């Protein structure tokens, strides 16, 4: 049993946030890791911008401004360079990154990494390659996000769902492009197919509120295309997203250079939902090409692959079975074990 301290200075959230409503990928990962480490028998303390102290699922949460322990066995600084020098007497410090690391290539960040020399955690090869080899570290590890049990335990479906595609990501990550492709290249060839969008600012807390004005024109565009069988919904909590995915036939998503794992695709795949993406950012790492979905280069190829999955029951059943067999092997307990192995 080890003493583990985790810190975050981003948006306000706590151990119950996943139950209350939608939440972004980095926050979901942080909560899930804390719970998984506690489940493995460790003493886990979280210091972040939670509104008040609480104990949830074996994790002790309290506000960051209330003081941070001076020592522990493992210290996990989550994404912020401002947190690197907290818990100076930790036996091992980890810097857990969630965004592409190019932003660190400035002296105001590099000197902190040279001085503290934490082990830097990346979520995949695309992510790791964003941090050049000459940059300082105390070691580098690729530890993918886990997939929550509710997605990994979705029961196999006996029959293919109706022709219903789904989008569950940030509207600023290619939704406007997807609307054009759907309207011009998919709806015209298969007018009975539906595209359901679960997206909005609520997923991103205070950061989302600040970006709501930028998101709204994209969401308004989606709402205006009801005639193309495009349906706009508010984002939903994880427990409701499982049901939504189970009613869907294919997840469609372009990908984004600023994304380093893409839980939206990972969760859909674990639930047995084939995905069609473009080779942008990290999303190709989430799919077994031609087996659990398609990674396409052009808009026309993207539309064709989507149409094939919407029309062809046999193709869908093959990819659904392959996704259930291969894409639900890695959960948060597995990711937590990888973190645990870094404890001296």
For the cut 80, the answer to whether the pLDDT of residue 107 exceeds it is: yes
CATH fold, domain 3-147+330-340, is Rossmann fold (3.40.50)
- Residue 201's pLDDT is 77
Whole-angstrom distance, CA of residue 174 vs CA of residue 273 = 20
Which phi and psi angles does 200 have, rounded to 5°?
165, 175
With 0.85 as the threshold, say if the pTM is over it: yes
pLDDT band at 277 (very low <50, low <70, confident <90, very high): very high
Whole-angstrom distance, CA of residue 233 vs CA of residue 196 = 7
- Residue 344's pLDDT is 94
Token digits of residue 53: 């102290």
Residues of the chain with CATH 3.40.50.2000: 3-147+330-340, 150-326
Whole-angstrom distance, CA of residue 103 vs CA of residue 171 = 23
* Mean pLDDT in residue range 236-257: 95
DSSP state, residue 52: S
Whole-angstrom distance, CA of residue 300 vs CA of residue 296 = 9
Whole-angstrom distance, CA of residue 260 vs CA of residue 30 = 15
Which phi and psi angles does 196 have, rounded to 5°?
-110, 125
> Do 263 and 29 touch, CB atoms closer than 8 A?
yes
pLDDT tens-digit map of 44-74? 999 999 999 999 999 999 999 999 999 999 9
Residue 139 Ramachandran class (φ > 0 left, ψ -120 to 50 alpha, else beta): left
- Residue 208's pLDDT is 57
Token digits of residue 174: 């290619």
Which phi and psi angles does 96 have, rounded to 5°?
-95, 110
pLDDT tens-digit map of 150-207? 999 999 999 999 999 999 999 999 999 999 999 999 999 999 999 999 998 776 665 5
Which residues are within 8 A (CB) of 45 and not within 5 positions of it... i.e. 6 or more apart?
Answer: 3, 4, 5, 6, 59, 60, 62, 69, 72
CATH fold, domain 150-326, is Rossmann fold (3.40.50)
Pick from 203, 153, 150: which is nearest to 173 by CA? 203
């Amino acid at each position: 049993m080890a003493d583990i301290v985790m810190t975050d200075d981003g948006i306000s959230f706590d151990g119950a946030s996943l139950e209350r409503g939608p939440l972004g990928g980095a926050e979901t990962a942080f909560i899930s890791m804390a719970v998984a480490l506690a489940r493995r028998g460790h003493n886990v303390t979280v210091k972040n911008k939670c509104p008040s102290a609480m104990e949830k699922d074996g994790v002790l949460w309290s506000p960051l401004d209330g003081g941070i322990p001076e020592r522990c066995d493992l210290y996990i600084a989550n994404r912020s360079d401002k947190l690197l020098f907290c818990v100076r007497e930790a036996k091992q410090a980890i810097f857990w990154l969630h965004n592409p690391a190019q932003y660190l290539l400035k002296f105001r960040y590099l000197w902190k990494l040279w001085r503290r020399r934490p082990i830097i955690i990346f979520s995949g090869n695309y992510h790791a390659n964003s941090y050049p080899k000459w940059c300082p570290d105390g070691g580098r590890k690729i530890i993918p996000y886990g997939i929550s049990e509710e997605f990994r335990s979705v029961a196999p479906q006996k029959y293919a769902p109706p022709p219903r595609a789904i989008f569950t990501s940030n509207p600023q990550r290619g939704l406007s492009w997807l609307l054009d492709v759907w309207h011009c290249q998919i709806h015209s060839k298969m007018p009975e197919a539906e595209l359901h969008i679960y997206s909005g600012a609520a997923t991103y807390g205070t950061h989302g509120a600040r970006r709501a004005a930028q998101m709204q024109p994209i969401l308004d565009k989606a709402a205006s295309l009801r005639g193309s069988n495009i349906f706009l919904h508010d984002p939903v909590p994880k427990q409701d997203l499982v049901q939504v995915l189970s009613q869907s036939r294919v997840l469609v998503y372009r990908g984004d250079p600023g994304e380093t794992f893409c839980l939206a695709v990972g969760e859909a795949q674990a639930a047995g939902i084939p995905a069609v993406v473009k080779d942008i950012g990290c999303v190709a790492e989430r799919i077994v090409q031609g087996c659990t979905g398609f990674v396409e280069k052009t808009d026309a190829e993207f539309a064709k692959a989507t149409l094939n999955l919407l029309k062809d029951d046999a193709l869908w059943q093959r990819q659904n079975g392959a996704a259930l067999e291969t894409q639900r092997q890695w959960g948060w307990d597995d990711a937590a074990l990888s973190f645990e192995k870094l404890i001296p």
